[in-house]
């Protein structure tokens, strides 16, 4: 029970962090069809900006300023970079963002060095909020949950209750029609790209001190975010939300259950010994392959339900 509750909480925190990252990417991907490889780089930039800003004016202003900076960079990239590249098709866009991710990583290495920077949780939130069966639950994790929940609410309201949200939704599903009706679709693209990047930046601000702020953080976070987006389905924020939480929980619980395929088989009276074919594979325990599970699920969903959990279009 203890393990279950603590793992549930940890899974939720990680899932919500994933969601903050993935929500921006899902908007960008479904609207513009751009598989933005540099998305996780914005996450990293957010963390580094927040670190630098918090050195001068503290963590709280950084919480606002760092995502804004990321958003500005995103807007600039879209207007002067992606839009030009867009004419040459999706492959060019893909390569553009891929190159960008590498450049940003190198740039971060050159600016802040290869070592992790001491970006710490603000003192105001650096205390255990409550104890579950003797395990401390840091207040900062609760703060992360609150921020991401607020953000989910804000995006949802913006998309469903505002005029610009309506236009974005229209452009999500019928980009050509929205354009034909006289909406400035390129400007919406810029807006969405900037907003998506800012969200990733925000995730970086609160994720950077929860994990460790170092130049490899984009590289390690990138693939899992793609899995979430594909799994959740294109054009669906709620699908993305469910997928994020699911991935967070799966990765957390996979660690806790020390079972292998062999254990499963023995339930059916089939005993695996070292002479059984594929014995090595069958006796690998779940924690050792936990990190692979999301990718396995992505492959499965692509085969059996290509549009993802709640997607409106095929991937």
Q: Which residues bind other proteins (CB under 8 A)?
A: 2-3, 6-7, 10-11, 14, 109, 113-118, 120, 128, 131, 134-136, 138, 211-212, 214-216, 219-221, 251-253, 255-256, 287-288, 291
The nearer residue to other proteins, 46 or 74, going by C-beta atoms, is 46
Return the number of the residue (210 or 241) whose C-beta is nearest other proteins.
Answer: 210
Output phi, psi for 129, to 5 deg. -75, -50
Quote the distance between the C-alpha of residue 4 and its chain's center.
24
Let me know the angle formed at the C-alpha of 29 by 27 and 31, rounded to the nearest 5 degrees.
65
* Ramachandran area for residue 265 (φ above 0: left; ψ -120 to 50: alpha; else beta): alpha
Specify which residues 220 forms β-bridges with: none
- Write out the H or E segment, with its range, that includes residue 195: helix 185-208
92 versus 255: smaller Cβ distance to other proteins = 255
Q: Which is nearer to other proteins, 152 or 253 (CB)?
A: 253
CA distance 58 to 141: 19
3-state DSSP assignment of residue 130: strand
Q: How far is the CB of 244 from other proteins (least distance, A)?
A: 14
Nearest distance, CB of residue 211 and other proteins, angstroms: 6
Residue placing its CB nearer to other proteins in the complex, 1 or 303: 1
DSSP 131: E
Report the DSSP pairing between strands 135-138 and 128-132. antiparallel
Shorter beta-carbon distance to other proteins: residue 72 or 216:
216
* φ/ψ of residue 235, rounded to 5: 75, 15
CB of 165 to other proteins, least distance (A): 32
Report the nearest approach of other proteins to the CB of residue 154 (Å). 25
**How far is residue 269's CA from residue 101's CA, in Å, rounded to a whole number?**
50
Taking the complex as a whole, the smallest distance from the CB of residue 220 to other proteins amounts, in Å, to: 6
**Nearest approach, Cβ of residue 44 and other proteins (Å):** 13
Assign 98 to helix, strand or coil: helix
Alpha-carbon span 274 to 138, nearest angstrom:
44
Of 234 and 243, the one with the shorter C-beta distance to other proteins is 243
Smallest distance, other proteins to C-beta of residue 77, A? 23
């Amino acid at each position: 029970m203890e393990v279950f509750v603590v793992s549930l909480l940890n899974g939720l925190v990680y899932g919500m962090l994933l969601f903050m990252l993935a929500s921006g990417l899902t908007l960008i991907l479904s609207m513009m069809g751009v598989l933005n490889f540099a998305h996780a780089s914005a996450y990293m930039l957010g963390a580094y900006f927040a670190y630098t800003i918090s050195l001068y004016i503290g963590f709280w202003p950084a919480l606002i300023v760092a995502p804004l900076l990321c958003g500005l960079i995103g807007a600039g990239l879209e207007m002067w970079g992606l839009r030009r590249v867009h004419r040459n098709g999706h492959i060019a866009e893909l390569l553009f963002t891929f190159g960008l991710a590498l450049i940003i990583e190198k740039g971060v290495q050159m600016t802040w060095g290869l070592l992790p920077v001491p970006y710490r949780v603000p003192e105001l939130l650096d205390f255990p909020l409550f104890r579950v069966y003797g395990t401390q639950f840091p207040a900062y994790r609760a703060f992360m949950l609150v921020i991401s929940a607020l953000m989910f609410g804000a995006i949802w309201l913006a998309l469903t209750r505002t005029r610009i949200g309506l236009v974005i939704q229209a452009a999500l599903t019928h980009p050509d029609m929205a354009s034909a009706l006289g909406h400035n679709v390129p400007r919406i693209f810029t807006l969405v790209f900037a907003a998506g990047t800012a969200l990733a930046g925000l995730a970086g601000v609160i994720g950077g001190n929860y994990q460790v702020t170092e130049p490899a953080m984009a590289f390690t976070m990138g693939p899992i975010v793609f899995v979430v987006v594909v799994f959740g389905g294109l054009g669906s924020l709620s699908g993305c939300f469910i997928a994020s939480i699911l991935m967070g929980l799966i990765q957390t619980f996979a660690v806790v259950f020390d079972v292998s395929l062999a254990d499963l088989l023995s339930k059916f009276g089939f005993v695996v010994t070292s002479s059984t074919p594929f014995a090595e594979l069958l006796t690998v325990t779940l924690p050792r392959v936990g990190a692979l599970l999301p990718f396995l699920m992505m492959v499965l969903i692509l085969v059996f339900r290509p549009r993802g959990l709640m997607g409106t279009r095929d991937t």
